[in-house]
Amino acid sequence: MASTVLEATRAAHEDLERLERLAVRELQRDPANARDRLFQSHRVRHMLDLVVSTSDKLVEIYEDKDNARKDEINTHLTAPTQTLLFSKYYERLKEIRDYHRRNPSARFVSTTDDYEELMKEEPVIEFTGEEAFGRYLDLHELYNEFINSKFGTPMEYSAYVGSFSQIEKIPQSHKTTRQYREYLEHILEYLTSFLYRTEPLQDIEKIFSKLESEFEERWMNGEVPGWGNKSTEKESEAEEPEIDLDYYITVEELVELGPEKLKQALAARGLKSGGTVQQRAERLFLLKHTPLEQLDRKHFAKVPRTKDVSNTASNGNNFKDDLKKEIALMEVKMRRLCELLDEVFVRTKENAEKKLTLTYEEMEAEREEEVQADTESDDEEQQIYNPLKLPMGWDGKPIPYWLYKLHGLGQEFKCEICGNHSYWGRRAYERHFKEWRHQHGMRCLGIPNTKNFNEITSIEEAKGLWEKIQAHQGLNKWRPDLEEEYEDQEGNIYNKKTYTDLQRQGLI
């Protein structure tokens, strides 16, 4: 039975509210492990996509371009007489009864069950074996593309991962090439895909739109690193295959540069770049004594009129500037994605360096251990049977009972200085005298925490022992008035008190 426009509007609003409640309930649940957290994020992202699509349908309904909603409201709410109002009601009731008469087996289906299944759904996320379910990056294809390019240098995979975002080391003469541009496109495509798979709730489009707005302002002010300002432009022009003809005396010296450099130099000046190496060198050597504006037009590439030389040169410069701007924007986006995935890059580099020291069997065993750890973490939610209330070990399970008895963990030691804190086992009790809690308690009592106070846990005993130590130190204490010696001019020896008394009386 086809629903009306108003019913479709009501159902859409109900779906929106139900999706919002489900998303909140899903986010309030604590995931058991990293895999469950990733599934949770993808489920919430799917709900948000449903919210967006449903909202778009509601916007179309409220825009009412075909006036269907307006006509339906007028039909139901504005009737000229009471008779017509009831007649429309009975017509609608007849349609409902006819529908159920034709479909007697039709039953009410609650959409709540369909939405509840979204909470139990396990999203399908595709990761390569190298990525290990989002823990590492798989940069091998980009690595092969880098080392086999003109702008790349041979290096190990781990070194490539460590210097992945350091694109400022690439000469600017290579950055305007098609090969470098395709390399950046592949980087952005992979990093965007990886970020969406590992952090689906991250709004990548919003991040890029903010970057683009900031980039436009920085590009106009010449603040883009390595691109915008005039000094870098001059450096880039120097780095480009620009040939200074003042250093060359004959055409043969230009021939030694090779066909590619000559071709690039001719194309940069708007001249024909075809022919043999000798012809290219002769054509370029003409500029040594003749300015570019006075050169015969037959040497220019596809220029019908001499006045169009400046126009074609300006168009070429504009195209080159647009290309530089596009590549600079791609580099800015790449740096931002690398910042968002900084921790993943660190883990990837550590994993690549670790693999250099492992054999194939050891790598397979380690991968199986990671999978087993993920499956074991799923079982952690189950209640652990521990009737004897034994302490937990490093694996989160109760330690064996024989180990519990061996270390005497059933014995309780209380320390009054530590605020009546309990220590289980002799080993923990002896170790606590050097820990921060006991040291803080002794500091509050004004007593130094020395070896003399080991095995003392009572405040009264500690104070009594400290008074005895102070009294004993008072007997053996050095007294300068009686023990410090002074000598007069005649060689007589006096202590400090006697010497000062005789000096005041003028006898010395």
* pLDDT tens-digit map of 431-478: 999 898 999 999 999 998 888 898 999 999 999 999 988 888 765 666
Q: With 90 as the cut, is the pLDDT of residue 7 above it?
A: no
Looking at per-residue pLDDT, the higher value among 138 and 117 belongs to 138
DSSP string computed for 470-502: HHHHHHT---HHHH-EEE-TT--EEEHHHHHHH
Residue 233 has what pLDDT? 44
Residues of the chain with pLDDT > 70, as a percent, come to: 82
How far apart are the C-alpha atoms of 223 and 67, rounded to whole Å? 52
What pLDDT, on the 0 to 100 scale, is given for residue 226? 64
477 contact partners, CB below 8 Å, separation of at least 6: none
**Residue 304, pLDDT score:** 45
pLDDT of 417 strictly over 90: yes
Name, of 248-252, 365-369, 417-421, the range with top average pLDDT: 417-421
Instruction: Give the mean model confidence (pLDDT) for residues 418-426.
Output: 91
Tell me the C-alpha distance between 324 and 293, whole Å: 26
- Between CA 296 and CA 283 the distance in angstroms is 11
Q: What is the pLDDT of residue 114?
A: 60
For residue 299, pLDDT beyond 70: yes
The span from the CA of 368 to the CA of 475, in Å, is 71
Mean predicted confidence (pLDDT) in 126-136: 85
**DSSP state, residue 86:** H
Q: Which residues, at least 6 apart from 338, have a Cβ–Cβ distance to it below 8 Å?
A: 164, 165, 191, 345
What's the pLDDT tens digit per position in 42-80? 888 888 888 999 999 999 988 888 888 887 777 766 555
Pick 258 or 410 by higher pLDDT: 410
What six digits make up the tokens of 109? 């289906």
Reported confidence tier of residue 235, pLDDT bands at 50, 70, 90: very low
**pLDDT value at residue 106:** 54
Could you give the percent of the chain with pLDDT greater than 90? 11
Rounded mean pLDDT, 12-38: 86
* DSSP β-bridge partners for residue 415: 421
Which residue's entry shows tokens 């895909």? 193
Measured over the CA atoms of residue 36, residue 41, residue 46 and residue 51, the dihedral's sign is positive
Of the listed ranges 121-125, 192-196, 219-223, 317-321, the one predicted with least confidence: 317-321
Which has the higher per-residue pLDDT, 465 or 36? Answer: 465
- What average pLDDT does the structure give for the chain? 79
Give the highest mean pLDDT range of 36-40, 114-118, 249-253. Answer: 36-40
Contact 357, 369 (CB under 8 A): no
**pLDDT in the model for residue 144:** 92
Stretch 250-261: mean pLDDT, rounded? 78
**What pLDDT score does 438 carry?**
93
Check: pTM over 0.85? Answer yes or no.
no
Phi, psi (5° rounding) for residue 485? -105, 145
3-state secondary structure of 422: strand
Higher-confidence position of 198 and 267: 198
